């Protein structure tokens, strides 16, 4: 046969698609849950949130590798393949206005929105790359890299004070949550876990509930963070964060760092 002319993608289409489905849940879906839950902890207690950030940053030099391997690369893979999948379909909800068909369309739309949002979000908060020259020369002047790990809540909150930014975050979070909840449902079909229409209906209700809860958590995180960054609370929170920093430096948990900029 004409084996050589068949592209790598085509030859491994099945495995690649399954990997796409898998990465959507592990690690990306799991990460999304943790990310939103950790961020939502800001509502309860700023210190709890800051503690979690310290925990993450305790990885030190390993953190970028972990981030790339478990978060960025999977998202990039999932996103790029997602775009290819999106290009391979053509929605027809006009002629076939069925619930599942709308969800097919929404899955693609939310995927696209979530992908763009994540790109921007990572730039907005982290500036994409950690190279000094990039952050100072390019990311910061363009309004990115606003997050400071040792002032987690206050810097994140400050970055969310603009109403447009908040709206975009809200759209991005809800799109991501829908994409995950509905994607969980389709993944179950793809992997053959729920097969009958009855089971699929039941699981859909479960996925919808999961999505609503996760959306609530995500929204709380967003508005909690926004609240933390408001001018009336900002100083107080920075004070808490400064104290936590100093204690940790004293204990030798962390080294005094240039990242501690306020």
Partner 1 sequence: MTTSGKPASFEVRILRQDAPGEPSRWERFRVPYETDMNVISVLQKIAANPRTIDGRDVAPVAWESNCLEEVCGACTMVINGRVRQACSALVDQLLADRPGEIELRPMSKFPVYRDLVVDRQRLFRSLVRVRAWLPIDDYSDRGPGPRQSQAEQEQAYPLTECMSCGCCLEACPQFQKVDLSEYGEGTSDEQRNAAFDRSFLGAHAISQAMLFNGHPIGKTSAAERLDALMAEGGIQVCGNAQNCVAVCPKEIPLTTSIARAGRATTIHTIKKFFDH
Task: In whole angstroms, give the CA distance from residue 174 to residue 53.
Answer: 23
Contacts of 198 (CB under 8 A, 6+ apart): none
Q: Rounded distance, CA 72 to CA 177, Å?
A: 18
State both tokens at 114: 């979530």
- Based on CB atoms, which residue is closest to partner 1, 18 or 260? 18
Tokens in use for 93?
A: 């909800």
Q: Smallest distance, Å, CB 198 to partner 1?
A: 10
Instruction: Tell me whether residue 55 or residue 93 sits nearer to partner 1 (CB atom).
Output: 93
Residue 13 touching partner 1 (CB under 8 A): yes
The answer to whether residue 92 forms part of the interface with partner 1 (CB under 8 A) is: yes
The reply on whether position 232 binds partner 1 by CB under 8 A is no
Closer residue to partner 1, CB minimum distance, 89 or 141? 89
Among 94, 232, 255, 261, binds partner 1 (CB under 8 A): 94
Which residues 6+ apart lie within 8 Å of 261 measured at CB? 148
Q: Is 205 in the site for partner 1 (CB under 8 A)?
A: no
DSSP state string for 152-165: HHHHHHHHT-SHHH
178 touches partner 1 by CB under 8 A: no
- Our finding on whether 203 is near partner 1 (CB under 8 A) is no
DSSP secondary structure code for residue 123 in this structure: H
Q: Give the binding site for partner 1 (CB under 8 A).
A: 2, 6, 10-11, 13-15, 17-18, 85, 88-92, 94-96, 98, 100-101, 103-104, 107, 186, 189-197, 200
């Amino acid at each position: 046969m004409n084996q050589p002319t068949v592209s790598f993608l085509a030859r491994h289409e099945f495995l690649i698609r399954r990997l796409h489905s898998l990465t959507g849940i592990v690690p990306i879906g799991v990460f999304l849950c943790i990310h939103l839950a950790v961020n939502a902890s800001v509502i309860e207690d700023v210190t709890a949130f800051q503690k979690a950030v310290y925990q993450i940053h305790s990885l030190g030099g390993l953190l970028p590798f972990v981030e790339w391997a478990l978060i960025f690369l999977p998202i990039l893979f999932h996103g790029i393949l997602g775009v290819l999948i999106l290009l391979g379909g053509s929605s027809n909800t006009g002629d076939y206005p069925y619930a599942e068909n709308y969800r097919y369309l929404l899955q693609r739309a939310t995927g696209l929105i979530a992908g763009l949002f994540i790109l921007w979000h990572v730039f907005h908060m982290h500036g994409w790359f950690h190279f000094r020259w990039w952050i100072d020369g390019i990311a910061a002047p363009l309004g990115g890299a606003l997050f400071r790990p040792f002032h987690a809540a206050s810097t994140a909150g400050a970055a969310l004070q603009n109403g447009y930014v908040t709206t975009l975050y809200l759209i991005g979070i809800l799109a991501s949550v829908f994409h995950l909840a509905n994607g969980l449902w389709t993944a179950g079909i793809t992997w053959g876990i729920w097969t009958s229409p009855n089971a699929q209906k039941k699981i859909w209700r479960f996925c919808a509930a999961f999505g609503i809860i996760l959306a609530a958590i995500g929204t709380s995180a967003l508005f909690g963070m926004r609240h933390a960054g408001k001018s009336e609370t900002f100083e107080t929170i920075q004070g808490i964060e400064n104290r936590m920093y100093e204690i940790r430096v004293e204990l030798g948990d962390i080294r005094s760092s240039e990242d501690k900029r306020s």
